[in-house]
Chain A
Amino acid sequence: MKLAYWMYAGPAHIGTLRVASSFKNVHAIMHAPLGDDYFNVMRSMLERERDFTPVTASIVDRHVLARGSQEKVVENIQRKDKEESPDLILLTPTCTSSILQEDLQNFVNRASNESSSDVLLADVNHYRVNELQAADRTLEQIVRFYIEKAKKDESLTTIKTEKPSANIIGMFTLGFHNQHDCKELKRLLSDLGITVNEIIPEGGFVTQLKNLPKAWFNIVPYREVGLMTASYLEKEHNMPYTSITPMGIVDTSSFIREISSICHKVYEAGSLTNLPTLDVEVRDKMKDLKILNKKDVESFIDQQTTFVSQAAWFSRSIDCQNLTGKKTVVFGDATHAACMTKILVREMGINVVCAGTYCKHDADWFREQVSGFCDQVLITDDHSQIGDIISQIEPAAIFGTQMERHVGKRLDIPCGVISAPVHIQNFPLGFRPFLGYEGTNQISDLVYNSFGLGMEDHLLEIFNGHDNKEVITRSYSSENELQWNKEASAELSRVPGFVRAKVKRNTEKYARDQKTPIITLEVMYAAKEAVAA
């Protein structure tokens, strides 16, 4: 047993549900007790989804406990099949079903005989993997299933697109700024003359998965989800992939150089990878494509770095000069924490004292990425450990998750949120990518604002704060002779701060009208009723 107050990554089934509900027309059925469907709340509230979340529960209750699920799961699958005819129904185990050890695969087999939808059992173990690992796994499982299915009925498209193209793997629901990142990536690719073949899972149809091999290569922007799928496609279909996250100027450049070199390889090996034609004319035309031309690629990078992104100029400006050597702590998922550490150190000259991640399963990669960029590496999923380190280091700013933001609040240290887990405010309506060239602008703003505010607060403290402080605390009712008895005062102190003054004024006004010199609880409540009209 472990005493826990907070967790960075959720339970396995959340990862599975995030992948399932990102696809279009896929329905997930959880084998779970009442109340475990709070995933629907998260999705509907955080993402402000307009559609019903395609997740229902096959409820495990006392009867199921006594007799097993029996027909219940099968009936629920078949019912959903009739009601919504999804392409795929994904039966999702939870911690409860892990212990019950019912033969869910058997239910799936029986249900799939009777339903027009495909039916799959998500292959995740609650006690072995967390949300992110489960998401990675489920995505691979679904892709594998549909690729193999297509192979069997010979509908698999193995012929490459005529122009360079890519699949983007790992954009999904409740991901940190994923929608914005996706848009930015698409723009970057289109600037480079690369078409986007499929984006999975967000917004994709499982029926389209058979088209995945059409792309020249795969892009996995986040380490947490998509690598398993990409390596499956590499192994089975000889598709190269890049796992460089185009976050920050330096890494965006390396990302572009890498995809350029991948495209070049695919182009050179055209005959081997089913390129549609060896026609001399077409190949000649292709030669002019920006992405296949090293010089063009370099000038594109140069152009974007100088004019589209303001981050390089920001690094040279005196604003950023003032940030030189400031202490920070970075914490988050492996992708964002590693990228952010590199950006702060390499691109802004800030001192990252400690960089950490809660992705314990990916610790080696993380260490390798940040080595040389920070004094200390922290691999933990215990938030109090991070809190302690932050309070020891006393950095000028923190870049972390919502949890670190709250640690910062308590310690009076500003925090920029760079990674999930997040609040609704991290699902902004405006365009806020972290990837690509626009992403570099957003990150510069985030970094500068965090430090800027810290500086401002510091100055305010030195110069004795805002001069309106006194006005806020001055009592408006000091001259009146009304008396509050003990209970009423206690009651007043229970009224939330932001309305207390108003309640006090209203009550005193009422008491004066009623000519009551002493304010009791009764007077207070009567006053509330009187103003109700």
Chain B
Amino acid sequence: SSNETSTAAPYSGQFECETGNYHTFCPISCVSWLYQKIEDSFFLVIGTKTCGYFLQNALGVMIFAEPRYAMAELEESDISAQLNDYKELKRLCLQIKQDRNPSVIVWIGTCTTEIIKMDLEGMAPTLEAEIGIPIVVARANGLDYAFTQGEDTVLAAMAQKCPAREGRLKNINLPIARSAIRADETLKSARTSVEDQATKTVTSNSSNSINADPPISNKQLKELVLFGSLPTTIANQLQLELKRQGINVSGWLPSARYSDLPALGENVYVCGINPFLSRTATSLMRRRKCKLISAPFPIGPDGTRAWVEKICNVFGIVPTGLEEREKTIWTNLTESINFIKGKSVFFMGDNLLEISLARFLIRCGMVVYEIGIPYMDKRFQAGELALLEKTCIKMKVPFPRIVEKPDNYYQIQRIKELKPDLVITGMAHANPLEARGITTKWSVEFTFAQIHGFTNTKDLLELVSRPLRRNKNLENHDSL
């Protein structure tokens, strides 16, 4: 609908778009963390040797651990349509069923299946019925997406497989029972107005719901589902953070088991935990009629606080103790922060975490020269962009420019000119830059490390400051 595109960017810094000649991982890499997250899944990547070799090399030792993923390697006869795709996929899926017996098979479509127009979405329902295992189809290909966006395509597809939550509040008792302890009192008074509230709430497929979630006065009458794949530990931490405010999380997309996917429907509020999940958000809003809470992402104590606050706000709760909590975290980290304060950073861009990380580092007192990013969804990242702007003003630093689809060659010229203290970049450029005296941090680590929530701030800072500390240590030994 037309009003969706009209949202202005809540950031007055410069946006640019370059040639898109940059290095990043292929989005099929998402199988590496998703197969670990969804314990009863099997990921089948339908592609060529090129895809297989990438997974094998990018995932390193993981490949030896009998992973629950494999390639359906397309051969010349598949490309020239001498073989029947359906029969071939059926043969492989039956083999997977026999060997591993997963609860779900996720087909990852690749560039090749796009180009030869293999109708995966069409075949899946028939095959699913025939072999008795659900099949989720995600097109995580390099023609359309970069790196972490792979997860986005999988979750968007998985959102379709979530069970339906009844439109009205028939089932509301269930989640309440779980979290009833604190919410009990408010509940009684609020119950009467629930039905009204539900109808008044802005409809899910209008853009207004993103920025203008009306506060609801009652706790836990609405369900909250969080989306984004996190290690269980981190998910628990974030969940606990909300529980402190009296908010119960009724489910996660993805869940640790496919059979535990959360129920979705009109009364379900959803909130993302990672900046690259815009398709999933759209899918949840438009197709599952959920209501999206647009917040900054819980990366860094500032982001986490803003994230919790936003959710509280939507749930009509006045957050307690958040400010002190954030402050304590910052205070505890004074030493680390003093070490990086004033140093400059350049994000070459490859995993879409860049805006959140830049915002956090600016809050730590660093100066960000450039935020390269593969793809910038200004709507989905609206909350994050607004916080970035606010943080720049607060810290009295100029707005960094945001470069979408960067050109690595031009970026390296700029890096040579600017000589930043730290370049956050992919592994293709890290060693060559180090050899030229420029300190680097591999961006991929931010994807795999635990960086969400209050509790992990130290780990996050550790990642950023390690290369700088290493340099300092080496300097001390220069005389040797």
Residue positions of A touching B, CB distance < 8 A: 1-7, 10-11, 13-14, 32-38, 40-42, 44-45, 48-53, 56-57, 59-62, 65, 76, 83, 94-96, 98-100, 126-128, 130, 403, 406, 409, 423, 487, 491, 494-495, 521-522, 525, 528-530, 532-533
| Residues of chain A lying within 8 A (CB to CB) of residue B13 | none
Given contacts A3-B72, A51-B432, contact A34 B79 (CB under 8 A): no
| Residues of chain B lying within 8 A (CB to CB) of residue A52 | 412, 428-429, 432
Would you list the 7 A-B pairs with minimal beta carbon distance, nearest first? A35-B26, A33-B142, A50-B435, A40-B428, A406-B64, A11-B49, A532-B458
Taking CB as reference atom, which chain B residue is nearest A528?
B455
Give Cα A33 to B24, complex, Å: 11
Taking CB as reference atom, which chain A residue is nearest B27?
A35
Asked whether, in the complex, the Cβ of A61 is within 8 Å of the Cβ of B143, the reply is yes
Residue B88 interfacial (CB < 8 Å):
yes
Q: What are 19 A-B residue pairs whose CB atoms fall within 8 Å in the complex?
A: A2-B71, A5-B70, A5-B71, A11-B48, A34-B142, A35-B28, A36-B142, A37-B23, A50-B432, A65-B143, A83-B409, A94-B50, A95-B50, A95-B111, A127-B76, A487-B236, A494-B232, A529-B329, A530-B332
Given contacts A11-B48, A494-B233, contact A44 B71 (CB under 8 A): no
| Residues of chain A lying within 8 A (CB to CB) of residue B67 | 5
Give Cα A35 to B146, complex, Å: 7
Residue B174 interfacial (CB < 8 Å):
no
| Residues of chain B lying within 8 A (CB to CB) of residue A45 | 427, 431
Residue B73 interfacial (CB < 8 Å):
yes
Given contacts A11-B50, A49-B432, contact A35 B427 (CB under 8 A): no
Given contacts A3-B72, A41-B58, A99-B116, contact A525 B237 (CB under 8 A): yes
Question: A51: which of B92, B412, B435 is its contact (CB, 8 Å)?
Answer: B435
Asked whether, in the complex, the Cβ of A532 is within 8 Å of the Cβ of B53, the reply is no
Q: A7-B49, A40-B428, A59-B20 are in contact. List 19 more A-B contacts (CB 8 A).
A: A1-B72, A3-B70, A4-B52, A35-B24, A35-B26, A35-B142, A36-B26, A41-B426, A44-B432, A48-B431, A53-B432, A56-B409, A94-B50, A96-B111, A126-B49, A423-B60, A529-B328, A529-B332, A533-B332
Taking CB as reference atom, which chain B residue is nearest A421?
B56
Asked whether, in the complex, the Cβ of A37 is within 8 Å of the Cβ of B457, the reply is no
Give Cα A457 to B134, complex, Å: 46
Asked whether, in the complex, the Cβ of B114 is within 8 Å of the Cβ of A529, the reply is no
Give Cα A522 to B321, complex, Å: 15
How many residue pairs bridge A and B at CB < 8 Å?
188
Residue B475 interfacial (CB < 8 Å):
no
Asked whether, in the complex, the Cβ of B27 is within 8 Å of the Cβ of A44, the reply is no
Residue B54 interfacial (CB < 8 Å):
yes
Given contacts A1-B74, A65-B115, contact A532 B332 (CB under 8 A): yes
Asked whether, in the complex, the Cβ of B111 is within 8 Å of the Cβ of A33, the reply is yes
| Residues of chain B lying within 8 A (CB to CB) of residue A128 | 76
Asked whether, in the complex, the Cβ of A38 is within 8 Å of the Cβ of B75, the reply is no
Asked whether, in the complex, the Cβ of B54 is within 8 Å of the Cβ of A3, the reply is no
Give Cα A37 to B26, complex, Å: 9
Taking CB as reference atom, which chain B residue is nearest A38?
B54
A416 CB to nearest B CB, Å: 17
Taking CB as reference atom, which chain B residue is nearest A48?
B431
| Residues of chain B lying within 8 A (CB to CB) of residue A532 | 329, 332-333, 457-458
Give Cα A54 to B176, complex, Å: 60
Please report the total number of B residues contacting A with Cβ < 8 Å: 78
Give Cα A83 to B409, complex, Å: 9
Residue B166 interfacial (CB < 8 Å):
no
| Residues of chain A lying within 8 A (CB to CB) of residue B455 | 525, 528-529
Asked whether, in the complex, the Cβ of A95 is within 8 Å of the Cβ of B429, the reply is no
Given contacts A36-B142, A65-B143, contact A99 B115 (CB under 8 A): yes
Asked whether, in the complex, the Cβ of A525 is within 8 Å of the Cβ of B240, the reply is yes
Give Cα A324 to B324, complex, Å: 72
Asked whether, in the complex, the Cβ of B48 is within 8 Å of the Cβ of A491, the reply is no
Taking CB as reference atom, which chain B residue is nearest A64?
B143
Enumerate B98-142 residues with CB–CB distance to A below 8 Å. 111-112, 114-116, 141-142
Give Cα A38 to B429, complex, Å: 11
Residue B227 interfacial (CB < 8 Å):
no
Asked whether, in the complex, the Cβ of B79 is within 8 Å of the Cβ of A127, the reply is yes
Taking CB as reference atom, which chain A residue is nearest B301?
A529
Taking CB as reference atom, which chain B residue is nearest A37?
B23
Residue B2 interfacial (CB < 8 Å):
no
Enumerate B408-433 residues with CB–CB distance to A below 8 Å. 409, 412, 426-432
A327 CB to nearest B CB, Å: 23
| Residues of chain B lying within 8 A (CB to CB) of residue A41 | 23, 57-58, 426-428
Asked whether, in the complex, the Cβ of B431 is within 8 Å of the Cβ of A49, the reply is yes
Taking CB as reference atom, which chain B residue is nearest A125?
B76
Give Cα A98 to B79, complex, Å: 10
Taking CB as reference atom, which chain A residue is nearest B433?
A52
| Residues of chain A lying within 8 A (CB to CB) of residue B276 | none
Asked whether, in the complex, the Cβ of A1 is within 8 Å of the Cβ of B232, the reply is no
Asked whether, in the complex, the Cβ of A3 is within 8 Å of the Cβ of B95, the reply is yes
A337 CB to nearest B CB, Å: 20
A485 CB to nearest B CB, Å: 13
Give Cα A95 to B116, complex, Å: 12
Given contacts A50-B435, A57-B21, A521-B236, contact A3 B71 (CB under 8 A): yes
Give Cα A14 to B384, complex, Å: 39
Question: B53: which of A3, A5, A10, A127 is its contact (CB, 8 Å)?
Answer: A10
